[in-house]
Amino acid sequence: MSASRHPALFAADPELASFVAAEEVLQAQTLRLIPSENYVSAAVLEASGTVLQNKYSEGYPGRRYYEGQQNIDRVEALAVERAKGLFGVDHANVQPYSGSPANLAVYLAFAKPGDTVMGMALPMGGHLTHGWGVSATGSWFRGVQYGVRADTGLIDYDAVRDLALAERPKLIFCGGTALPRTIDFAAFAEIAREAGSILVADVAHIAGLIAGGAHPSPADHVDVISTTTHKTLRGPRGAMLMCREEHAKAIDKAVFPGLQGGPHNQTTAGIAVALHEAAQPSFVSYAHAVVANAKALAAALLQKGFDLVSDGTDNHLILIDLTGKDVPGKIAAKALDRAGIVVNYNTVPFDPRKPFDPSGVRIGTPSLTSRGLSTEHMPVVADWISRAVDAAAKGDEQALAAIRAEVTDLMAAFPAPGLPLA
């Protein structure tokens, strides 16, 4: 651990600095498979730690409630222009603090408390903010939920249509957090049109794949696109809402003053840089490599005898169903963590177990692809996962430690921006 990376922080607050340094080492040495995580570039890291932090900017470029916006306006306008260009939309709002507040702004723009809203059920792969009960969106609105078919693990579009026509929801959300397959935005658009609903594509997980052309774009099909900026898009933690001109006013009013105060300008700067990076040819390669790695990893896991929800993946994400193994998801996830492989336990569709102790493990390839691992490494990764799950079943801590040493060794050859060499 070295104080040279953050000298002021080490001098002012060595205790906190030591936690940051330890996290840097952890991120450098481990194989990070959580599909919602990534490594931002050194440029994004720098942009999000600037003096833009010091500025209050309630309002929008050219229409602020505070003076001294000469530079901030340019930063935000640049981020907006880049978002519009990259995603092919009329309007972009880059101010939402994160994905959940962005979605809340969509409710505020188009619905009233008590209205019916429709989204994918959380245990089927949807997000909390799509009207699930424990979320504000499920208690202030009447959430109705769709899911996947038990036999295929794929979204049941006929059931989605039946539910939409029966319920006529104000809003329909498509997208989720544990969906390994391509979303058919055109099919959702047809259903939303029939039901008279506003259609929202929440592409938080796949925004980078869309930007890089590795997943179809919702831009021509939906009313609103909601996305985080920190997952496959590889920007700072934040979010954006994008839409056609007709909804621009409603979206902007909902974000500010409806829901938020001053935007986080240092994050806006980081988003602008990430959008610039995502517009480069190298990002097209990155997005396709993420998918190629996920497909190779899925194939290798199937070969090792694992069950995968929907039998594979079209995107960056794989949902391993451990129902047939002796090891539930949480025990597997914790064992993998001890082996230096960072995942999260997750429900699988129709999970016989409880959400806090489910049957699945969710993994993905955005982070390892950012570090330069390629398809040739995926059989090795699958082998580690397989050995770790076996070791978890037997309580073999030595085997987990041996895997950890192998992981650390490989990751040392693939450094990540902003991190010490492993």
d(CA 61, CA 289) in angstroms, rounded, equals: 36
Catalytic residue among 37, 56, 142, 334: 56
72-111 binders of ligand PLP (CB under 6 A): 98-100, 103
- Residue 125 one-letter amino acid: G
Q: Which residue is nearest to ligand PLP (CB)?
A: 99
User: What is the helix (H) or strand (E) element at residue 135, kind and residue range?
Assistant: none
237 catalytic? Reply is yes
Residue 57 binds ligand PLP, judged by CB under 6 A = no
First to last CA, the chain: 11
Query: Which two tokens mark 351?
Result: 């999970």
CB of 315 to ligand PLP, least distance (A): 12
Residue 177 binds ligand PLP, judged by CB under 6 A = yes
66 catalytic? Reply is no
d(CA 207, CA 214) in angstroms, rounded, equals: 10
Candidates 59, 125, 138, 175: give the one binding ligand PLP (CB under 6 A): 175
Candidates 48, 95, 129, 293: give the one binding ligand PLP (CB under 6 A): 129
Q: In what order do the strands lie in the sheet with 307-308?
A: 307-308, 317-321, 360-364, 344-346
58 catalytic? Reply is yes
CB of 248 to ligand PLP, least distance (A): 21
CB of 126 to ligand PLP, least distance (A): 8
Residue partners of 390: CB distance under 8 A and separation at least 6? 396, 399
180: closest CA among 338, 346, 4? 346
Query: Which two tokens mark 36?
Result: 């919602």
Candidates 176, 235, 328, 340: give the one binding ligand PLP (CB under 6 A): 176
Rg for the chain, CA atoms, rounded: 22
Number of residues near ligand PLP (by CB under 6 A): 14
CB of 93 to ligand PLP, least distance (A): 15
Query: Which two tokens mark 321?
Result: 């169903």
Candidates 82, 91, 170, 205: give the one binding ligand PLP (CB under 6 A): 205
40 vs 18, 209, 368, CA distance in Å?
21, 15, 12
115 catalytic? Reply is no
4-43 binders of ligand PLP (CB under 6 A): 36
Give the footprint of ligand PLP on this chain (CB under 6 A): 36, 98-100, 103, 127, 129, 175-177, 202, 204-205, 228
Residue numbers annotated as active site: 56, 58, 202, 228, 231, 237
